[in-house]
Amino acid sequence: MLRKIFIICISILLVFVCIYSIENLKSKKNENILRVSFINMWSGFTIDELPMIKEVIEESGRKIVIDHKNYDLIIESVFGQKKISNKNSIKIFFTGESIRPNPDNYDIAIGFDYIDHPHYIRIPLYYMYFTNEISTNYKRPKCNPHKPHFACFLVSAHIDDTEKFDGCVARDKFFHKLSSYKRIRSGGKYLNNESRVVPKENTREWLSECKFVIAYENKTYEDYVTEKPFQAYLAGAVPIYYADKSYVKDVNPRAVIFAKDFASEEDLYNYIISIDQNDEKYCEIYNNSIVPDSLNNYPIIKEKLKEKLLPLLNEK
Q: Which fold has domain 135-292?
A: Rossmann fold (3.40.50)
Q: Say yes or no to pLDDT of 225 above 70.
A: yes
Residue 21: pLDDT band by 50, 70, 90 thresholds? very low
Average pLDDT, the chain: 92
Least confident of 5-9, 37-41, 145-149, 226-230: 5-9
Mean of pLDDT values over 124-138: 98
Instruction: For 46-66, write each residue's pLDDT tens digit.
Output: 999 999 999 999 999 999 999
> What's the pLDDT score for residue 25?
37
Neighbours of 165 (CB within 10 A): 16
Q: Say yes or no to pLDDT of 263 above 70.
A: yes
Nearest 5°: the CA angle 303, 304, 307 is 85
Any idea of the CA torsion for 285, 291, 292, 295, to the nearest 10 degrees?
Answer: -160
Q: Say yes or no to pLDDT of 2 above 90.
A: no
pTM, entire model: 0.88
Residue 13: pLDDT band by 50, 70, 90 thresholds? low
Q: Please report, for the chain, the start and end positions of each structural domain, with discontinuous segments joined by +.
A: 30-132+297-314, 135-292
Mean of pLDDT values over 97-124: 97
Residue 307: pLDDT band by 50, 70, 90 thresholds? very high
The CATH class, in words, for 30-132+297-314 is alpha beta
Residue 116: pLDDT band by 50, 70, 90 thresholds? very high
Q: Alpha-carbon distance 254 to 82, whole Å? A: 43
Largest Cα–Cα separation, the chain: 107
Q: Say yes or no to pLDDT of 8 above 60.
A: no
Mean of pLDDT values over 262-277: 99
> What's the pLDDT score for residue 187?
96
Q: For 301, which DSSP code?
A: H
Least confident of 3-7, 86-90, 143-147: 3-7
> Any bridge partners for residue 86, and if so which?
none
Mean of pLDDT values over 23-44: 76
Neighbours of 294 (CB within 10 A): 12
Q: For 235, which DSSP code?
A: T
Alpha-helical regions (H) of 199-278: 203-207, 228-234, 265-276
> What's the pLDDT score for residue 3?
56
What is the chain's length? Answer: 316
AA identity, residue 174: F
More confident residue, 13 or 44: 44
Residue 234: pLDDT band by 50, 70, 90 thresholds? very high
Q: Which of 36, 217, 224 is nearest to 122 (CA)?
A: 224
Q: Alpha-carbon distance 144 to 133, whole Å? A: 20
Non-local CB neighbours of 203 within 8 Å, separated by 6+ positions: 154, 231, 235
Residue 15: pLDDT band by 50, 70, 90 thresholds? very low
Residue 31: pLDDT band by 50, 70, 90 thresholds? low
Q: Which of 145, 165, 148 is nearest to 216 (CA)?
A: 165
> What's the pLDDT score for residue 87?
86
Q: Which of 79, 82, 56 is nearest to 68 (CA)?
A: 82
Q: Say yes or no to pLDDT of 104 above 90.
A: yes
Mean of pLDDT values over 24-48: 81
